[in-house]
Amino acid sequence: MRGTRMVIGKPYRPGSSTPTVERTIDYDHWVELKSMGFNTVRVVWVDPFVKRDPKWTPKPGAWWEVDEMLPYLDSAVKNATESGMNIIINYHNVGEYIHTKGFGMMAEFWQKVAPRYKDNALVYFELNNEQTWNSADYFNTAFKSTMRGVYQQVRTAAPKRHIIMFSFNSMGQPMKAIADDYAWVDWGVTSVGFHFYGWQTQSEESELANLNELTNSEYTTICTEWGYNLTEDFMKPYYGYQVNAQALEQLKQSWIDWRDWSEMDLAETRDLLIPDAKSKGYWWADATVSSSSRNLKSAIPK
């Protein structure tokens, strides 16, 4: 999988200053993405974060509830299906467990979303996003119990759909040890998601060691975020590469890039990613490139 993100959220609705939601209903945009070599779109629903963010919470009606968002998600799934693109549906909050010691709208979201697309082979479910940045939380009994309940809810409602778990905030997490502790997960139809980010307190070597430990194990893995802005303190030029997609190609990982929620154009993709990939020999749409990523779909029973 190689893909890019698409945002759904009320602050980005049609008619707003940054109407990213319009892309979900614009079939031509999906065709454009496919023409750029992508075969996957990660659709992120950001209203759960907006709902608890102090920037928005004093403003009643600043976010959509699940039912208000669903028509746009339906359009995204329809366009993905008609264009032959994989679509990863992501419940997108950041550090939700840290702030609430719970999972907010996640259970309601999946209760309504999982059965809705249970028979569409192009749909993947990314259960959550960076629920915590504290490694200890992942081993906490209450955390695991709540996560197990949501996972089993989705697995029961859509037994054939592939689930992506964890979406770790960085490679500083002991990812394999955490996955090992979730023995109740059906790893035959579930992958470990991670973000190709680091921590200031850890070295590149230790972060890549965590990733290698995970990817050299029995788990299927996918990078659901890497970013372009290497000035951010959590982004690093791994292996010294200007664009982290090059490192992910070298590591034979499926990947989805990350751009700001409100970013509407594809300038970074056109002006940085694709030229860099073509000039340095890791252009994934070139059949002569040998470092193709692991095929996530090969692990999924049809």
- CA 295 from chain centre, in angstroms, equals 16
Single-letter amino acid, residue 69: M
Give the tens place of pLDDT for each residue, 6-23.
Answer: 999 999 999 999 999 999
- Answer yes or no: is pLDDT of 294 > 60: no
- Answer yes or no: is pLDDT of 300 > 50: no
**C-alpha distances out from residue 16 to 13, 75, 169, 239, Å:** 6, 19, 29, 40
What is the per-residue pLDDT for 154? 97
Give the tens place of pLDDT for each residue, 141-165.
Answer: 989 998 999 999 999 999 999 999 9
What is the per-residue pLDDT for 293? 37
- Answer yes or no: is pLDDT of 288 > 60: no
Listed ranges 68-77, 144-153, 224-233; the one with the highest mean pLDDT: 68-77
- Which has the closest alpha carbon to 211: 170, 258, 257? 170
| C-alpha torsion angle, residues 67, 131, 101, 201 (rounded to 10) | -160
Compute the radius of gyration of the chain from its Cα atoms.
18
- Which has the closest alpha carbon to 3: 48, 40, 35, 36? 40
Q: What is the bridge-based pairing of β-strands 40-45 and 123-126?
A: unpaired
- Answer yes or no: is pLDDT of 102 > 70: no
Can you tell me which residue has the tokens 């976010």?
Answer: 63
Single-letter amino acid, residue 77: V
Element (H, E) at 91: strand 86-91
- Which is it for the CA torsion 253, 122, 132, 137, positive or negative? negative
What is the per-residue pLDDT for 295? 42
- Answer yes or no: is pLDDT of 30 > 90: yes
Give me the chain's average pLDDT, please: 91
Q: How confident is residue 135, by pLDDT bands cut at 50, 70 and 90?
A: very high
Calpha distance 46→17 (Å, rounded):
16
Give the tens place of pLDDT for each residue, 166-215.
Answer: 999 999 999 999 999 999 999 999 999 999 999 988 999 999 999 999 99
Of 72-86, 168-182, 284-298, where does mean pLDDT reach its minimum? 284-298
Calpha distance 169→258 (Å, rounded):
13
Instruction: Work out the percent of the chain whose per-residue pLDDT is above 90.
Output: 77
What is the per-residue pLDDT for 286? 76
Can you tell me which residue has the tokens 């999972």?
Answer: 103
What is the per-residue pLDDT for 121? 97
- Which has the closest alpha carbon to 255: 191, 181, 190? 191
What is the per-residue pLDDT for 39? 97
**C-alpha distances out from residue 130 to 78, 98, 100, 167, 207, Å:** 27, 10, 13, 6, 17
Taking residues 27-44, what's their average pLDDT? 97
What is the per-residue pLDDT for 266? 93
